[in-house]
Structure 1
Amino acid sequence: MTGLHITAARPASWLLDMDWHTPLAEWPREVVSSLPRGLSRHVVRYAEVAGNVLAVKEIEESLASHEYQILHRLQRTDLPTVEPIAVISGRQTLDGEPLPAALVTRHLHFSLPYRSLLQQRMSPTRLRRVLDSLAVLLVRLHLAGVYWGDVSLSNTLFRRDAGEYAAYFVDAETARIYPELSDGQRDYDVDLARVNIIGELMDLQSGGVLPDDYDVVDIGEHTVHRYQELWNDLTAKQVIDVSNRWELDQRIRRLNELGFDVGEMAIDTQEGVLTVQPRIVDAGHYRRQIHDLTGLSVEEKQAQRLLNDIETYRATTGPMLPLSTVAARWLAEVFAPTIAAIPPHMRAKLEPAQVFHEILEHRWYLSEKAGKDVSTEDAVADYIASQLAERADEERVLNYPDPV
């Protein structure tokens, strides 16, 4: 291990057990996990070490250090990114030949690169939902002063979020963090997103993954429109007549529905009108609520669905009880037993919150079909047999083609 230098926020001795003297392209099959990968200009390998599933990327040392620092800063702000583990520099072969540095990040469980996700033959509507999540991610980064510089589907990971998707920032080589972005910086990122996404979708279409009749240019442009709509909702000034102050509450509720909390607003009064503009907007409105009530860490739409189920449970069991009390009972009497009913060998297929959401959807479908209310127990049994059993594992998405 002579010459190795390891930079890690949480030093772990198991990093020393990895073969840093061998180029990643030559790592033996037995240490490489078969996980789906997006396109990358660098050699990337996944490995399981001491129970940790890691993504390892060979990259020039200054870029590795830069990306590590960017990801580390974004982790502290609760933005959706992969977790940086370490930068390994000073690598060389046993013959003394220098090797590139390695950036080590933790694999994001239950995440999929876009190629794996879109191989499921999505409808244009569902494909737009995937792109919506990328637009939301880009807005969140821009609100935090992050200039991406290389926006694309390839540099993003996606997780299921109830009926929607949540996008995660992966590749930070070109990213920069500023106190605030200029309109020009934002426009460049957005235009780059449009060009790259359309190109990536065209590539999938030429490879037969997307049907020929999909208008991929229109679908790609949708991301730009979604970004602009969301950015305006979150940042634009709004002029309100003083007598219609309810419109201010309405805007706050609308932002909450989009999953954002408004931490501060600038309100100017003049000649009978209010000029309102959000100053501090933070994502994760429902995620924070469900975590405070139950301790569960879930995606935003999943959290919204769980909160709705808690309110339904409250209405039927104790409408006068505090929500915190009802949530604790719901967790013990509804959520936990439902998840426990999933056979152990099927628990790597989907996250618990996603399974719960799909069971609720399945129960509604069965009840409508039967013309009567179907019990949760019956819905769980039917869902496992008819839906979950046929799903592939998504925790690590095994049996993917070998890395190249």
Structure 2
Amino acid sequence: MALDIKAARPYPALFALPWSVPLEQWPEDQLAALPRGISRHIVRFAKVDGRILAVKEIKADIALREYAMLKQLRRLHLPCVEAIAVVTGRTDVHGEPLDACLLTRHLQFSLPYRAMISQTLRPDAATRLIDALAVLLVKVHLVGFWWGDVSLSNALFRRDAGEFAAYLVDAETGELREKLSNGQREHDLDIAQVNIAGELMDLQAGGMVPDDMDPVEVSNTIVERYHELWEALTQAERFDASDAWRVEQPIRSLNDLGFDVGELDITTDIDGTTMSIKPQIVEAGYHTRRLRHLTGLEVGENQARRLLNDLVSFTASKNRQSDDERAVAHDWLATIYEPITRTVPPQLRQKLEPAEMFHEVLEHRWYMSERLQHRVTIEEAVADYVENILPTKPDEQNVIAPDATPLQMTAR
């Protein structure tokens, strides 16, 4: 059987990987020692042409299906890992068949939930991760994707302006439909509750979350958070016809949640005294796209919201509200954002991605001003942050220490 590599674009360096060796036995010099989450399959991180790719060893039909599904989800602008290639037709040195491999691009500055909780000192870390997973679940359900295996293990998490953002990494059980029924959505929630409760019990047994935490009770929060978001995004809002000025309010609220509104379905009752407004959601990532349009920066949704707020403050401080917003954004980028992010010494740049570091500098400035009882300049804040705060942060960009032991992978 001939080796076959199906790739999204030409990737000659893939041929240099040891495809005739079972993934579990790949040589360490070709692997990156990144923390691995729990998976039912063998997963390794390979160094390929200066990049890091996640390699998952699975049956060929499953690999091809998941490859196609991840590409579809990316086209729908959903937060998920990027499918790079599928390698089939593998055989060992004796000619015996080996499972296929699915390759995805490693999501920089992301961590599995176990590593994220171990690095986060806040006691509500597990709840915040579940909140992020609920947001992700709402996003995929809005486009008709039934996940089928919702869990913390099947997502990666990145810091997003002090919160967490979740990215789908396992789509092998998922199905994409025109629209999901309420029963299908609730089925995903039932699966999520069971899986998350088990994952939290496992963390509790390992001493990674408090003993007095009830895993079942905490896992139930995904249902509450999910329904809260779903209703805000899909339910019609009713108000008196005399309050027609409130039509714009739902749009602003949905933008604040990070969603674009395509059009509004506005109806009145038979006597015209009550209006009902139902938004048609276009897609998530409102602030991300707006910041990209103004500055070209690619950041998370919460990070984009925070950076846009700082841009608004900059515009007001320079009295440039009447100027072209892209010109003002260019000046903010050149005089505020880039000088701050470039202040970080090269040896510390893998600690946090630039947008998250910028957010933390703004937070640090506020706390410094409060502590010192006077206004601290941004230059003073970034200097103090780089000297005293950033060096204490764990590395989150790429490879951890070569002799570090990745998180143990066990079957679920």
TM bucket normalised to smaller? over 0.9
Post-superposition shift, 1:289?
A: 1.0
Counterpart residue number, 1:401: 405
C-alpha distance in structure 1 between counterparts of 2:36 and 2:257, whole Å: 30
Q: In the comparison of the two structures, how many residue pairs are matched?
A: 403
> Identity rate of aligned residues, in percent?
51
CA contact (8 A) 1:36 1:113 kept: yes
Post-superposition shift, 1:402?
A: 4.3
Counterpart residue number, 1:70: 69
Counterpart residue number, 1:143: 142
Q: 1:95 to 1:193 in 2, by over 3 A?
A: same
Provide runs of 4+ in structure 1 moved above 4 Å: none
> Is residue 367 of structure 2 the alignment partner of residue 365 of structure 1?
yes
CA contact (8 A) 1:79 1:141 kept: yes
Q: 1:391 to 1:123 in 2, by over 3 A?
A: closer
Counterpart residue number, 1:218: 217
Superposed, 1:156-167 pairs within 5 Å as 156-167=155-166
Post-superposition shift, 1:258?
A: 0.8
Q: Secondary structure at the match of 1:245?
A: helix
CA contact (8 A) 1:161 1:301 kept: yes
Counterpart residue number, 1:38: 37
Post-superposition shift, 1:121?
A: 5.0
Post-superposition shift, 1:186?
A: 0.4
Length-normalised TM-score, structure 2: 0.95
CA contact (8 A) 1:266 1:277 kept: yes
Q: Secondary structure at the match of 1:345?
A: helix
Counterpart residue number, 2:261: 262
Counterpart residue number, 2:342: 340
Segments of 5+ residues of structure 2 without an aligned counterpart are none
Q: Secondary structure at the match of 1:297?
A: coil
Counterpart residue number, 1:309: 310
Q: Secondary structure at the match of 1:123?
A: coil
C-alpha distance in structure 1 between counterparts of 2:120 and 2:231, whole Å: 32
> Is residue 281 of structure 2 the alignment partner of residue 277 of structure 1?
no
Counterpart residue number, 2:94: 95
Post-superposition shift, 1:163?
A: 1.4
Q: CA RMSD in A?
A: 1.3
Counterpart residue number, 1:292: 293
Q: Write the letter of the residue equivalent to 1:372.
A: H
Counterpart residue number, 1:322: 324
C-alpha distance in structure 1 between counterparts of 2:287 and 2:221, whole Å: 26
CA contact (8 A) 2:34 2:45 kept: yes
CA contact (8 A) 2:351 2:393 kept: yes
Counterpart residue number, 2:185: 186
CA contact (8 A) 2:32 2:399 kept: no
Post-superposition shift, 1:154?
A: 0.3
C-alpha distance in structure 2 between counterparts of 1:264 and 1:150, whole Å: 33
CA contact (8 A) 2:37 2:407 kept: no
CA contact (8 A) 1:121 1:210 kept: no
CA contact (8 A) 2:13 2:48 kept: yes
Higher relative contact order (CA 8 A, sep 6+): 2
Q: Secondary structure at the match of 1:98?
A: coil
Post-superposition shift, 1:397?
A: 4.8
C-alpha distance in structure 1 between counterparts of 2:150 and 2:116, whole Å: 18
Length-normalised TM-score, structure 1: 0.97
C-alpha distance in structure 1 between counterparts of 2:251 and 2:351, whole Å: 37
Deviations, residues 281-314 of structure 1 (Å, cap 9, x unaligned): 4111111111111000000110111011111111
Segments of 5+ residues of structure 1 without an aligned counterpart are none
Deviations, residues 209-236 of structure 1 (Å, cap 9, x unaligned): 1110123222211111000000000001
CA contact (8 A) 1:265 1:280 kept: no
